[in-house]
Structure 1
Amino acid sequence: MTLHRRTFLAVGAAVTAAPVVSRAETGWTPRASMPWPTQEIYCAAQDGSITVAGGLVRSAAGGLHINDRTAIYDVKADRWSEGPRLPQSRHHPMLASAAGRIWAFGGYDRRDRGEWTAMTDIWAIDRGVWAQVGQMPQRLCETVGLSVGDRVHLVTGRSPKGEANGQWNDQGDVTTHLVFDAAANRWETARPAPMARNSAAGAVLDGKLFVAGGRTVDGGGTGRLDRYDPDRDRWDTLAPIPASPATGRQVGGGLAMAEAGGRLIAFGGEWFEGRGGGVFAETWIYDPARDAWTAGPAMRTPRHGLAAASVDGVIYAIGGGEAASGGKASGLVETLSL
């Protein structure tokens, strides 16, 4: 399998960035690697462990294989174990923790029409296996999934533009905002996001949802930062992530973000240029009190399509691709403590 996203993604122009005024004093530290390399993944943290499922892995023939494996990381032991297999292989399945369970939403699988067939299955780990729970109300992939209590918010992403559903360019960017009540197994809709984009990153801070970065098929990367207040059903747009000083490019899709110590930490992502591109090494730290981003320590191993989690104030960067598009899947795990 070969990814064709670089054929469709234009490179966004760099934006004017606020001056960088400070840097974190500590850097990224290696931890135990995943049992296998994988990219285009998300994760969920619960009870001192981090669960990763699905993704794309390099096959023996040299292409990319859609994965059905689950890996579970014990944070204190710094050790990975293999969990239950997904009922079907998936890349980009959105994982979330809510109502005491780990959930998986949608993602892409291979069907007769192609390897980017958007699926609507909802699975949850029950008695040590992934169980079918229901169906999403619509097809939504490359979304941001954030849990507030027992409610999982799925915001932005890509959905089929028409009846076609199988190829990457069958999907279009959306502002969709779905809310899943995990305790009641019920779906609702909330106010749409201010901007349609895919492959953004998100985190929850002080009960509010933050959606950062992402890209559009036509416009390339965006550093946009939007905040959603669930109590008021309201979106506000805040200071964007600065452009990369090293490349002059605006951070785009496939970045990751998590919250620690009352701040947001965003890192990674990829950019495209012609038939090539690159991966961002920068780490950006957002202070909500000042509505400002500052530069943190560069990633030891820049990656995109990686998973991010925060456990006890430590940020985990898990797996991802070390080259733009599907060139080099990684199993590396690195942490950042501020």
Structure 2
Amino acid sequence: MKFISVVLCCISFQLTAGSLNWQRRADLLIPVQEIYPAVFQREIYVAGGLSSELPKQQGQMTAQVQIYNPKTNTWRYGPALPEGRHHGQLVAVNDQLFLFGGFIQANGGHWSASTDVLQLDPKLQRWLKVASLPEPLSETVSWVLDHKVHLISGRSPATKANAQWQDQVDVAIHWIFDPKSLKTEVAPALPEAKNSAAGVVLNEVGYLVGGRQVKGGNKAGVYSFNPKNQQWAAQKAMPEAQAGLAAAVFHQQLWIFGGEFFEQGGGVFSKVWSYSAADNHWQQQGEMPVPRHGLGAVALDDAIYVIGGATAAGLKQTSAVLEKVSVK
């Protein structure tokens, strides 16, 4: 993965609002939302997902893995997951591809949180269960630091019941998964429990932005995690409280896209924001041509790819849109 690097004697690089170029690319083969895409071997992978366009009898979820080749601007199907799954965290690390947790059909419901750690075996062209998380986990955030996967926040079952969305509660967990030993260790917890946030690594520091609490609504808070001292720190809050958003690093800044809210009938956020860690400052960078939530964003080859999602709050109007965002 390559990013544009700018060296200006420690002066942060700033874009002017509206200086982005949005280019529509080939649509997904299946419109999906609640996805966490990953760049693996220079292609974009989308594993599973929810969709208003899929049958209710299958939980409106898919097991299909969709792979995008940016050079040919084409999608193809990859090895399918063992079962339909949504809100599963897809992470590429050390030339390996893992999927953590998410919701599956089990225990009589379509929102049963999973402990599965799946890994793609490129030779066998199938997904293998290689480990289990300490507890079922979904709607979490991930990043990679020091060649290990961090899983932070999300939702986990409150009791033995684990079948429906309402069986889950917000958590502040912070786990570190070692892809070599396939073991998970406990790390310092996030200062507050939440779900549906977004996260990135910027300058070797992890950032977790936004999210929501089921009883507290959307959150604008931003937390950074320094792996050197193993401490969390609060940063300047986002201009808007957003959940179900996507984030990526571009031009040495953190970028966020989309998200949803449920007040006054609900809706989807359209403004694009960038955050400079150097001066702890947020700046608007125009608006999304197709605002949506439950979407994914990845950085690849000097651009951000904004993938899928839904154009209305909740499980409605799921989109197959793929956009490439670059500098004009």
TM-score (norm 1): 0.88
* Count of residues in Structure 1 that have an aligned counterpart in Structure 2: 310
Match of 1:36 among 27, 30, 35: 30
Instruction: Please give the alpha-carbon distance, in whole angstroms, between the structure 2 residues aligned to 1:85 and 1:154.
Output: 23
Instruction: Please give the alpha-carbon distance, in whole angstroms, between the structure 2 residues aligned to 1:173 and 1:308.
Output: 23
Partner of 1:189: 186
The DSSP-based 3-state class of the residue aligned with 1:226 is: strand
Partner of 2:45: 51
**Structure 1 stretches lacking a partner, 5+ long:** 1-20, 244-249
Instruction: Please give the alpha-carbon distance, in whole angstroms, between the structure 2 residues aligned to 1:25 and 1:89.
Output: 39
CA drift at 1:59: 4.4
What letter matches 1:218 in structure 2?
K
Within 5 A, what are the aligned runs for 1:28-177? 28-59=22-53, 65-126=60-121, 127=123, 128-177=125-174
Distance 1:262 1:60, change over 3 A: closer
Instruction: Please give the alpha-carbon distance, in whole angstroms, between the structure 1 residues aligned to 2:16 and 2:29.
Output: 36
Distance 1:31 1:57, change over 3 A: same
What letter matches 2:257 in structure 1?
F
Partner of 1:331: 320
What letter matches 1:129 in structure 2?
R
Distance 1:51 1:232, change over 3 A: same
The answer on whether the counterparts of 2:54 and 2:60 sit within 8 Å (CA) in structure 1 is no
Instruction: Please give the alpha-carbon distance, in whole angstroms, between the structure 1 residues aligned to 2:94 and 2:182.
Output: 10
What letter matches 2:137 in structure 1?
L
The answer on whether the counterparts of 1:95 and 1:103 sit within 8 Å (CA) in structure 2 is yes
Instruction: Please give the alpha-carbon distance, in whole angstroms, between the structure 1 residues aligned to 2:169 and 2:54.
Output: 32
Partner of 1:26: 20
What letter matches 2:197 in structure 1?
A
Distance 1:159 1:298, change over 3 A: same
Query: Over residues 38-80 of structure 1, what are the superposed CA-to-partner deviations in whole Å (9 max), with x where a residue is unaligned?
Result: 1111111123111110111234657861110000111222221
The DSSP-based 3-state class of the residue aligned with 2:71 is: coil
Partner of 1:203: 200
The answer on whether the counterparts of 1:317 and 1:334 sit within 8 Å (CA) in structure 2 is yes
The answer on whether the counterparts of 2:87 and 2:138 sit within 8 Å (CA) in structure 1 is yes
The DSSP-based 3-state class of the residue aligned with 2:111 is: strand
Query: Over residues 244-302 of structure 1, what are the superposed CA-to-partner deviations in whole Å (9 max), with x where a residue is unaligned?
Result: xxxxxx32x2100000111000010000026x310001110001111010001201111
Partner of 1:258: 248
CA drift at 1:29: 1.8
What letter matches 1:270 in structure 2?
E
CA drift at 1:312: 2.4
CA drift at 1:22: 4.9
Partner of 2:300: 311
The answer on whether the counterparts of 1:27 and 1:297 sit within 8 Å (CA) in structure 2 is no
Match of 2:263 among 260, 273, 283: 273
The answer on whether the counterparts of 2:223 and 2:235 sit within 8 Å (CA) in structure 1 is yes
Instruction: Please give the alpha-carbon distance, in whole angstroms, between the structure 2 residues aligned to 1:27 and 1:269.
Output: 20
Instruction: Please give the alpha-carbon distance, in whole angstroms, between the structure 1 residues aligned to 2:55 and 2:83.
Output: 21
What letter matches 1:301 in structure 2?
V
Partner of 1:293: 282
Could you tell me the percent identity over the aligned residues? Answer: 38
Instruction: Please give the alpha-carbon distance, in whole angstroms, between the structure 2 residues aligned to 1:137 and 1:280.
Output: 34
What letter matches 1:298 in structure 2?
E
Instruction: Please give the alpha-carbon distance, in whole angstroms, between the structure 2 residues aligned to 1:226 and 1:22.
Output: 25
Instruction: Please give the alpha-carbon distance, in whole angstroms, between the structure 1 residues aligned to 2:63 and 2:34.
Output: 13
What letter matches 1:72 in structure 2?
I
The DSSP-based 3-state class of the residue aligned with 1:328 is: strand
Distance 1:153 1:61, change over 3 A: closer
Partner of 1:9: none
Partner of 2:175: 178
